[in-house]
Chain A
Amino acid sequence: MLKIDNLHVQVGEAEILKGLSLAVPAGEIHAVMGPNGAGKSTLAYALAGRPGYEVTEGSATLDGLDLVGLTPDARAALGVFLSFQYPVAIPGVPALTFLRTAMNAQRKARGEPEVTAPEFLKSIRARAAELKMDFEMLRRGLNVDFSGGEKKRMEILQMMMLSPRLAILDETDSGLDIDALRIVSEGVNALRAPDRAMLVITHYQRLLDYIRPDRVHVLAGGRIVASGGPELALELEASGYDRYASAA
């Protein structure tokens, strides 16, 4: 479903991704692990189409359609969702308003009818409850004065509501205590579906105790240098990334 082939990405003058290839079939969760500075967040941003992350070579296709060159919102409408490592606060835009605007913008782009207010509220109430979020919080400015854990739950809530084809989770475990990590992971696991692919980007193995990946890839020096089953994550936890430094 997601197929990345020989992807080169430049940020400013620096080439960060240097021929990265990776495929995630529908229904699978793949983890991308790697040391700091390996290019993990660059991969996430490049797939989402962040301005300033320039693809100089290679391709990234979703269901055979090349994402490179599409605007971030066009990619979102195709089903690309990025859970941010540092979700942005938007004062003055209540979370409810933001999310409903986003849902309807995506639906409009796909030629689907808008979600009605009662439908939207019913659905978001139920999902906020699953994530043990205080519904009143959603009336406040998006992520304004939210704790680190609340922001990550907000990301997962948005992911549940937008129901993406491809979910990219960038360091979702950072800033989470054990309880929040469990709730967020349950949310992610509930989204595992035959027509959805997920890419979980993480520095630590800890998150993978809760979200079981089908495959684990090691990203170092801008390339995938090793791939394997879930046991690879455990191995990395024990031996560290040092031995991949030379491979890169």
Chain B
Amino acid sequence: MSLARAIETGDLAELPSRRDEDWRWTDLRGLLRVLPARVAETDAEAIEVAAGETRLVRLDFVTGEGAEVVRRRIRIGGEAVLIETHRGGGISEIDLAITLEPGARLERIVLVEAAEDAVQVVIATVALAAGARFAQTVVTGGAKRQRIETRLRHAGGGAEARLDGLYLVSGRRHADLTTVVIHEGPGGATSQLTKGVATDQGRGVFQGRIEVRPGADGTDAKMGHHALVLGDRAEVDAKPELEIWADDVVCSHGNTIGALDEEALFYARQRGIPEPEARAMLTEAFLGEVIDRIGNEEARDAVAAFVAERLA
């Protein structure tokens, strides 16, 4: 059951619905009564960065008005920074299969600027071989309904992953950041920090699951999700889950949902900063912690600009 299958078969019954535990906050079956004509998929070659190679890769996805399924394969042997943008409207699922070979490094930055009426699912399935290092920051302003999902597998041992996210949802936009991390190899590390801001009638969803399978001894996993709900009709739903089946594991998670610090707001206003500017400053500072974790400078600047533009 998936949006891709529904688009491919034209069968609405294939759409994930709120009766599916994993999709209860991002119901697609209740939303879509008809599916528009399917746009033919253009074949695209797999992206390869061979061992010993260092590259900056750009991937720009622009969806049209129809229904679309796009699949891409990315294989990293060397070192790469991937700057990925998603724009446009319509109904789409984009599936990426990302493989990191032993010792490979990839930093993936995902900037999502969808149209207000877009229904969008982006799923990245990431496999890390031994000693691979993967870092990811997803930044989204939401859509009519949107799920950005990452399924990450520590297949080999001693791999490291950073899985971060930022969402800013206003108007009636919806953003769902879902991650499933599976530790199979021993001695792996996962560090996750997602922050979000919901205003107006915006809705943010964070679902994070970390599974530490038998044999993944010595795993170090941290998960944090923190959100600001800045409107009476805004909403954030969060479901952090840790499942541990191995020994000698350090796992922690923190989840907070609240408003801006009124003390800080008054302090800034007392110094002369008008309320709207003070709110924007504090919100930007709240999100800044996630931006600071981005390694690539160009990507960090792009994300900072994306956030500043939405808070202005």
Which residues of A are at the interface with B, using a C-beta cutoff of 8 A?
A: 48-51, 71-73, 75-77, 81-82, 84, 87-93, 98-99, 101-103, 105-106, 109, 141, 158, 162
Residues of chain A contacted by B268 (CB below 8 angstroms): 90, 98, 102
Asked if B243 is at the interface (CB within 8 A of a chain A CB), the reply is no
The one of A48, A76, A82, A101 that contacts B281, using a Cβ cutoff of 8 Å: A101
CB contact list, B251-278 vs A, under 8 A: 261-264, 266-275, 277-278
- Closest-CB distance, A151 to chain B (whole angstroms): 11
Let me know if B288 is at the binding interface, CB within 8 A.
Answer: yes
6 contacts between A and B (CB under 8 A): A48-B270, A72-B269, A73-B273, A90-B267, A92-B288, A105-B271
CA distance A129 to B273 in the complex (A): 26
- Are B271 and A87 in contact (CB-based, < 8 A)? no
Minimum C-beta distance from A201 to chain B (A): 15
Residues from chain A with a CB closer than 8 A to the CB of B264 are 88-90
A106 touching B272, Cβ below 8 Å: yes
Expressed in whole angstroms, the minimum distance between the Cβ of B295 and any Cβ of chain A is 18
The answer to the question of B180 belonging to the interface, with a C-beta cut-off of 8 Å to chain A, is no
Chain B nearest Cβ from A49, distance in angstroms = 8
A50-B266, A51-B262, A101-B281 in contact; A92/B289 too (CB < 8 A)?
yes
A50-B266, A84-B267, A88-B264 are contacts. A93–B272 as well, Cβ < 8 Å?
no
User: Does chain A have a CB within 8 A of B37?
Assistant: no
In the complex, the answer to whether A101 meets B267 with C-beta atoms within 8 Å is no
Contact of A102 among B261, B272, B282, B286 (CB under 8 A): B272
Q: Is the CB of A101 within 8 A of B275?
A: no
Q: Which of B's residues lie within 8 Å of A, judged by CB?
A: 261-264, 266-275, 277-278, 281-282, 284-286, 288-289
Is B285 in contact with A76, judged by CB distance below 8 angstroms?
no
Chain B residues closer than 8 Å to A51, beta-carbon distance:
262, 266
Which residues of chain B have C-beta atoms less than 8 A from A77's C-beta? 272
Greatest chain B CB density within 10 A among A102, A106, A141 is at A102
Q: Which residue on A lies nearest to B285, using beta carbons?
A: A92
> Would B267 and A73 count as touching, CB distance under 8 A?
no
- B contact residues around A92 at 8 Å (CB): 284-286, 288-289
Question: Are A72 and B270 in contact (CB-based, < 8 A)?
Answer: yes
Q: Which 10 pairs show the lowest CB-CB distances between chains A and B? A: A92-B285, A76-B272, A102-B271, A106-B272, A72-B269, A92-B288, A88-B267, A105-B272, A93-B285, A73-B269
Residue of B nearest to A103 (CB): B272
Interface pair A93/B281, CB less than 8 Å apart: yes
Contact A91 B281 (CB under 8 A): no
Q: Which residue of A lies closest to B277 (CB)?
A: A105
CB distance from B307 to the nearest CB of A (A): 12
CB distance from A191 to the nearest CB of B (A): 16
Please give the distance in Å from A162's CB to the nearest CB on chain B. Answer: 7
Chain B residues positioned under 8 Å from A76 (CB to CB): 269-272
Alpha-carbon distance A70/B285, docked complex (angstroms): 27
| Bound CA–CA A72/B263 (angstroms) | 13
A87 surroundings in chain B (CB, below 8 A): 267
Residue pair B274, A73 in contact (C-beta under 8 Å): yes
CA distance A109 to B281 in the complex (A): 18
Nearest A-chain residue to B291, judged by Cβ: A92
Which residues of chain A are near B277, meaning CB under 8 Å? 101, 105
Give the distance in Å from the alpha carbon of A76 to the alpha carbon of B285 in the complex.
23
Least Cβ–Cβ distance between A189 and chain B, in angstroms:
22
Q: CA A49 – CA B270 in complex, angstroms? A: 8
Task: Tell me whether B289 and A91 are in contact (CB under 8 A).
Answer: yes
- B46 to chain A: closest CB distance in Å? 39
Within the complex, the shortest CB–CB distance from B241 to chain A, in Å, comes to: 28
Given A92-B286, A105-B277: A73 in contact with B263 (beta carbons within 8 A): no
A105 and B289: CB pair below 8 A? Answer: no
- Contact partner of B272 (CB less than 8 A), chosen from A84, A91, A109, is A109
Q: How far is the CB of A245 from chain B (nearest CB, A)?
A: 31
Residues of A within 8 A of B262 (CB): 51
Given A88-B264, A91-B289, A92-B288, also A105-B270 (CB < 8 A)? no
Say yes or no: A98 contacts B271, CB within 8 Å: yes
Q: Which chain A residue has the least Cβ–Cβ distance from B283?
A: A92
Report the separation of the CA atoms of residues A91 and B267 in the bound assembly, to the nearest whole angstrom. Answer: 13
**A158 vs B270: C-alpha distance in the bound complex, in angstroms?**
11
By a CB distance below 8 angstroms, the chain B residues around A49 are 269-270
